[in-house]
A and B are shown apart, each in its own frame.
Chain A
């Protein structure tokens, strides 16, 4: 336990990484001009290929990947600064998000040299987008029970099965999927492998699912005798479980688990500026910011661990759990504060932003591992399991 607390000890963002911030701010000021708050609040789910290519043109996609693969060769702190500014501004990051954050690092770590050279430069150029095929209808939290199966043959693999909740499969070029290559679902973690799947191949059917706000980002994806070349396998056959867990560790650490509701928070702060005697509101605002400041400090500490080559899985789970709780509390607190004063006029923009965030906020503690699963990981870190 003392160990757990020590791992959040103070770290500073180095000056070299901070130097990136003004450039990112200037870029965003230009790109984001005129986008209303309810569009900006979609940040994570805002798919804008032109924006992503503009980011790539600045050399900021794959910022931490080595230069020889088209990356920026920068450290985890630089990426922290970049992502923090993107999210604070509500930039539409969805097109490049998964590749930049998960698939790129995964291919770098586990891919063959040929795979790295084939995919990473195009990813860094904003030419190809990725999605993640982990979940299935009967494999949610219990990911080890995936049933989609690839059978090896003479000249590659034959893939059959179904993925679900695959974010932006319908607009991506590739999926990195976790599938079974041997045994049955009773074998659990054994016999799972990761594949990179070209989504233009015959036999793939992608059907968008409309979310509760009417937006469309996630999908069902069906595989019917899809032929995959031999080099579609990522990493080792049968090592998919370990690889996926390493991948989720990249996913969970970082500022993205603090700022999902920040556009709404700032929109509300602007509103409060015009309200006389907003005392109760100010206390609520301050409380949320106090917690955000502490989480940011913790997130920087974890970034320092990543930069030092460690894999702070438990710490990342802890930050994500606290962070998503804060992200979910923001719309609740703002709704209460606004509705208590019907006599104070509220802009349509603020109300739309509130309506959007209030409806999608429950997803914050589902995507990337549910609250209960994360708490189970923390309990393991505490030595209880």
Chain B
């Protein structure tokens, strides 16, 4: 507990400085963030890099609270992604050739991204791209790109540039990483939406009392809390398998449940906020916009759950045996 707080408290203070709602807003269309130097200087980006390679050598379980907190603050920089890219490259005995933010870019055998919608650019300069077993660091296109339908500038790979570095990874490792990381970010964001919505229903009065005093709202708030709790636990499952890397099935659980929870969370949060939540000015929109976008990123509940279903049929025991085995692979 103390160990956690020793790490988490300074990180939260950092987030309060570099991830204010104003900064989050500014990052959407700008595609650029000013705070990377401060983040990189903080040492958190090397959290997962082994000590022998000059990193902090933390375990994945140690950094999960940081990733959740970053999601809660909608940190507009690819901190988790860069953290993972640095760690994976270091584990392969090399070092990332760039110190700027790096996105995760899992691709299929033909090189098509395994994500309907590309990650937000948000100041990243490179992507860590996996195709087959090969993972390479490749530059992203910079410069004037139009924001997508969510109002966010999506990253694009530079098709002409040569890869800077190539390492080998197990098949689809990066897909699992990207999905599990997205699920954790979503879980963090959803926990914050619960807080915002609680504050709103305690504050806003109708019929002479706070909304939270109405049973209909209380029941909705309970469901919201349930969805958030599910996403939180699922995110931890996603990132804390035995191998210090998400297994395919752990990632599948995490992204499936994060996607399902996000639907509930967005719907109830909007309902409870009323019209004010529909305004661009209200911070709820920042969260909902991203949650909807993350649901389109790195596979959906339907896609990932099919992987779980296929794995279940291979197992001869009952479903409890399957769930237990899945958590211990």
List residues of A whose CB falls within 8 A of some B CB.
1-2, 4-5, 8-10, 84-85, 88-89, 259, 262, 265-266, 269, 272-273, 279, 281-287, 289-298, 301, 318, 321-322, 372, 374-376, 378-379, 382-385
Contacts and interface: CB of A to CB of B under 8 A. Distances in A.
Contacts of A321: 222, 226
Given A1-B225, A5-B228, A378-B226, A289 B308 contact: yes
A259 B222 contact: no
Contact of B230 (A1, A2, A285, A322): A322
Interface stretch (B89-97, B167-175, B290-298, B318-326): B318-326
B299 to A, nearest CB: 12
Contacts of A295: 230
Nearest to B314: A273
22 contacts: A2-B191, A5-B228, A5-B229, A272-B309, A283-B302, A283-B306, A285-B308, A286-B312, A290-B305, A291-B260, A297-B236, A298-B230, A322-B229, A375-B218, A375-B222, A376-B222, A378-B225, A379-B221, A382-B225, A383-B198, A384-B213, A384-B218
A382 B221 contact: yes
B320 A5 contact: no
A374 B256 CA distance: 25
B219 A294 contact: no
Given A321-B222, A384-B201, A293 B309 contact: no
B44 interface: no
B212 interface: yes
Contact of A281 (B198, B230, B309, B321): B309
A293 B228 contact: no
Contact of B304 (A262, A286, A322): A286
Contacts of B141: none
Given A1-B194, A84-B320, A318 B218 contact: no
Contacts of B226: 318, 321-322, 378
Given A282-B312, A287-B256, A293-B326, 20 more contacts: A4-B225, A5-B191, A5-B232, A10-B61, A10-B236, A259-B320, A262-B320, A266-B318, A266-B319, A269-B319, A272-B309, A272-B313, A286-B311, A290-B234, A291-B256, A298-B229, A318-B229, A321-B222, A321-B226, A374-B222
Nearest to A377: B222
* Interface pairs A-B: 10 shortest CB-CB: A286-B308, A282-B309, A286-B305, A286-B309, A379-B218, A378-B222, A375-B222, A285-B309, A287-B305, A88-B320
B218 A284 contact: no
A18 to B, nearest CB: 9
Contacts of B322: 289
A322 B307 CA distance: 23
A283 B305 contact: yes
A283 B309 contact: yes
A39 B217 CA distance: 40
Interface residues of B, number: 53
Given A290-B253, A291-B257, A379-B218, A8 B229 contact: yes
A329 B138 CA distance: 45
Contacts of A383: 198, 202
Interface string B196-223: 0010011000000000110101110111
A265 B181 CA distance: 30
Nearest to B72: A2
Contacts of B257: 290-291, 294
Give the interface centre of B213, B215, B307, B312 by most chain A CB atoms within 10 Å.
B312
A16 to B, nearest CB: 16
B112 interface: no
A130 B233 CA distance: 36
A372 B219 contact: yes
Residue among A266, A290, A297, A321 with most chain B CB within 10 A: A290
A262 B320 CA distance: 9
B252 interface: yes
Contacts of A1: 191, 194-195, 198, 225
Contact of B319 (A272, A284, A289): A289
B309 A88 contact: no
A382 B218 CA distance: 9
B240 interface: yes
A372 B323 CA distance: 29
Contacts of A289: 305, 308-309, 312, 319, 322-323
B21 interface: no
A10 B257 CA distance: 17
A292 B323 contact: yes
A6 to B, nearest CB: 9
A287 B261 CA distance: 12
Given A286-B256, A293-B323, A376 B313 contact: no
Interface string B145-171: 000000000000000000000000000
Contacts of A262: 318-320
B289 to A, nearest CB: 22
Contacts of A272: 309, 313
A297 B306 contact: no
Contact of B306 (A85, A286, A294, A375): A286
B286 interface: no
